[in-house]
Structure 1
Amino acid sequence: MSKILPVPNGWKPAKIKDAAHVNPRSNSVDDDSLVTFLPMNAVSESGLIEGAEIRKAIDVKKGFTSFETGDVLVAKITPCFENYKGCLCTDLKNDRGYGSTEFHVLRPKKNITGEYLHILTRTHHFRGTGELNMTGTAGQKRVPTVFVKNYDFPLPQLSEQKTIADLLSTWDEAIEKTERLIQAKEELFKWLLRELISEPRNTQITTEWKIVKIGSFLTESRISGTNGRDAQKITVKLYGKGVVAKDEKRIGSETTQYCVRKSGQFIYSKLDFLNGAFGIIPEELGGFESLGGFVI
């Protein structure tokens, strides 16, 4: 059903049904056994389990999809499938789980690791091809089981699968740490604005500082420039990330008046000021222009 990808040396062409059981049955569990329950919102678009619930098996055995530790879940319904919802099932309570009926369950065979199977289901090719093969009406389209079973892919040796999974895991961890650092810096920036400028609470600072109006040391610059068609434009990025040249694919209007900006001037966006859209115009952008919505 899907186009066969080029196969590297030593890798074998395969279908998912050759490497995994698709939507297999799980053995029954006692009614009083505790199991993991995963509604669709407990599986993130980044492939992680977030917000798993622990329930008694009797409460979820009927009407939900069953799976086991080591299985791979893939959302089948739109837009969850296109948004990469899915996960590798780890640390399930008593190694058993139940969840949304909108999951496909893939249980690895001996020739593939769960980690590699999970990676495969998160590739752009798998998701893109699956989207093209969805069936059903708008808003209720789903990826059919037959597509999943017959999806073609190159299957490496187990040792190479583990190497690939370890490498990507390290990369994902680095990305996650970077994103957390960026978020922490943004929160610190907001705190500094609030504590040191907007709402100073340190009594020593507030008694020594003077209360002044910004207008006493800043003036608005409105040097007439060209128009939207001819101007070399600048814009201000959010969260204090600076002033940059604006990359526009479409030519602006001749009737729109722009203003000339000079290096060293302070510029901010009236619309996104609270989101940190302000900065100092660098030397290399002196002479560029912006709309009147940006005041310096």
Structure 2
Amino acid sequence: MLEGWKSVALSELATFHSGGTPNKERSSFWGGPIPWVTVKDMKAMRLNGVGESLTEEGANTVRVVPARTVLVLVRGMGLFKDLPVVLCDGPVTFNQDIKALVAKEGVDSEYLAFALIARKSDILRHVDSAGHGTGRLDTDLLKSTPLPLPPLPEQRKIAEILRTWDEAIEKLEALRAAKQNRFTGLKQQIMGRGGAFPERWPLKALSAVSTPVRRKSAGNNHPVMTISAKSGFLMQSDKFARDMAGRSVERYTLLHEGEFAYNKGNSKTAPYGCVFRLDRPTALVPFVYYCFALKPGLDPEFYEHLFAAGALNHQLSRLINSGVRNDGLLNLYSDDFYSCRVPVPPIDEQRKIARAMTAAKQELALLDEDIEALTRQKRGLMQKLLTGEWRVKLEVSVA
């Protein structure tokens, strides 16, 4: 251990407190000024609002902990994947699934929260099942978790540095939220209110605005792809590729860039409108997919966004729910699919909306990359600072 640093059990760094739930039938207990924290509120290290709150009467029936208390989830389904740790900026109450850690003298609360987060993977190894898929973290095991403890000034400096990174990430996340609102507004522009397309746009059946693609491949030098409801076109798995080795691909449909495909196999699990546009030169897809190319005078980029916004969901859900056979299999015929109607705005309006939505989507993707990069860098920085591999420089006051 570094000079001045110690490895100390968590029980020696903080006092543990248990929470509870006031009587839900007592209206006089609820809706007051005192936050009541549950797992739903533990989305980030710093508490940012709660779903429910207590009156002073309600708070008198449970534990109230002071500002800068660290909350740790010890029971919940999510514990198998993550360990929520929250630093409170004011007095709070909390339910029985949470433990409150009040830092002892010589321990900085913010440093304590960061140190716990850095040990998440180790702590999660102690999570076991409390039944019905609920995770449980034994309090005694949590208390015995060793954490590195530098002198208090160094704790505070480390917390200050990591807080700066958190603030940078929070600013990017706020910007992303604003960009997402703009993108959502653009989607509403093409979908209208309540999923009804704008009345000024004529509606036409897919059969009137597209041509089915039934092209076959004479060779096997094209990638074999499938469609995921969440991710669109994906390469088939390695196992599938091995199974395909030496087999004919004559039953597969050959798609060209810009053409669309619908995987009706995804339709029973939603979203119903799993229609995606191919963004590579060619691909082979299963013959059961409905594949089509838009007719001239239509903007494929606009319709890509339209389908992604769920333009066909309502129509397809009605067809699918009425087309499931007695044996549970899906029976969605080609004529039914191509009878679905889509709006056909003027081409200039299609292009204007499409370019705006593409730009907004690209901005969101870039912000996601920036947030992920900063988060990754922060994790590396935490590892260096919280082990003492990198020592912080403390300011020296001059008398």
After superposition, the Cα gap between the structure-2 partners of 1:216 and 1:52, relative to the gap in structure 1 and judged at 3 Å, is: closer
Aligned-pair CA distance for 1:39: 4.5
Aligned-partner Cα distance in 1 for 2:184–2:63: 40
Asked if 1 retains the 8 angstrom alpha-carbon contact of 2:129 and 2:135, the reply is yes
2:235 aligns with 246
After superposition, the Cα gap between the structure-2 partners of 1:152 and 1:195, relative to the gap in structure 1 and judged at 3 Å, is: same
Residue deviations 1:89-135 (CA, integer Å, cap 9, x gap): 223xxx3x322122111112344432232233334x32x33333246
Aligned-partner Cα distance in 1 for 2:283–2:2: 50
Aligned-partner Cα distance in 1 for 2:18–2:203: 71
1:71 aligns with 69
Identical positions, percent: 13
Aligned-pair CA distance for 1:176: 4.8
Select 2:190's aligned residue among 193, 196, 200.
Answer: 193
Asked if 2 retains the 8 angstrom alpha-carbon contact of 1:226 and 1:258, the reply is no
Aligned-pair CA distance for 1:225: 4.2
Do residues 160 (structure 1) and 155 (structure 2) align?
A: no
Aligned-partner Cα distance in 2 for 1:293–1:10: 66
Select 1:232's aligned residue among 215, 223, 229.
Answer: 223
1:90 aligns with 89
Kindly tell me the number of residue pairs found equivalent between the two proteins: 264
1:151 aligns with 145
Do residues 287 (structure 1) and 279 (structure 2) align?
A: no
Moved more, 16-25 or 105-114: 16-25
Aligned-partner Cα distance in 2 for 1:199–1:141: 45
Aligned-partner Cα distance in 2 for 1:15–1:86: 17
Residue 295 of structure 1 aligns with an amino acid whose one-letter code is C
Aligned-pair CA distance for 1:177: 3.3
Asked if 1 retains the 8 angstrom alpha-carbon contact of 2:14 and 2:103, the reply is yes
* More helix by percentage: 2
Asked if 1 retains the 8 angstrom alpha-carbon contact of 2:256 and 2:281, the reply is yes
Residue 8 of structure 2 aligns with an amino acid whose one-letter code is A
Asked if 2 retains the 8 angstrom alpha-carbon contact of 1:231 and 1:258, the reply is no
Asked if 1 retains the 8 angstrom alpha-carbon contact of 2:34 and 2:59, the reply is no
Aligned-partner Cα distance in 2 for 1:198–1:269: 24
Residue deviations 1:48-76 (CA, integer Å, cap 9, x gap): 344343423332433x3432211011111
Aligned-partner Cα distance in 2 for 1:266–1:8: 61
Aligned-partner Cα distance in 2 for 1:224–1:115: 62
Moved more, 269-278 or 211-220: 269-278
Aligned-pair CA distance for 1:36: 1.6
Aligned-pair CA distance for 1:262: 1.2
Aligned-partner Cα distance in 1 for 2:75–2:262: 43
Aligned-pair CA distance for 1:288: 1.5
Aligned-partner Cα distance in 2 for 1:135–1:221: 53
Residue 57 of structure 1 aligns with an amino acid whose one-letter code is E
After superposition, the Cα gap between the structure-2 partners of 1:133 and 1:264, relative to the gap in structure 1 and judged at 3 Å, is: closer
SS in 2 for 1:251: helix
2:124 aligns with 131
Asked if 2 retains the 8 angstrom alpha-carbon contact of 1:76 and 1:102, the reply is yes
Asked if 2 retains the 8 angstrom alpha-carbon contact of 1:13 and 1:153, the reply is yes
Q: TM-score, normalised by structure 1?
A: 0.69
Select 1:117's aligned residue among 92, 112, 116.
Answer: 112
Aligned-partner Cα distance in 2 for 1:52–1:199: 35
Residue deviations 1:109-165 (CA, integer Å, cap 9, x gap): 344432232233334x32x33333246743465322222222122334121221122
After superposition, the Cα gap between the structure-2 partners of 1:214 and 1:141, relative to the gap in structure 1 and judged at 3 Å, is: closer
Residue deviations 1:154-193 (CA, integer Å, cap 9, x gap): 3341212211222133224423532x25632552343133
Unaligned 5+ segments in structure 1 are 1-6, 26-31
After superposition, the Cα gap between the structure-2 partners of 1:10 and 1:170, relative to the gap in structure 1 and judged at 3 Å, is: farther
Aligned-partner Cα distance in 1 for 2:186–2:228: 14
Asked if 2 retains the 8 angstrom alpha-carbon contact of 1:65 and 1:103, the reply is no
Aligned-partner Cα distance in 2 for 1:81–1:50: 21
Q: TM-score, normalised by structure 2?
A: 0.54
2:44 aligns with 46
Aligned-partner Cα distance in 1 for 2:182–2:44: 22
Residue 188 of structure 1 aligns with an amino acid whose one-letter code is G
SS in 2 for 1:161: helix
Asked if 2 retains the 8 angstrom alpha-carbon contact of 1:74 and 1:81, the reply is no
Aligned-partner Cα distance in 2 for 1:137–1:192: 47
Aligned-partner Cα distance in 2 for 1:39–1:155: 28
Residue 84 of structure 1 aligns with an amino acid whose one-letter code is L
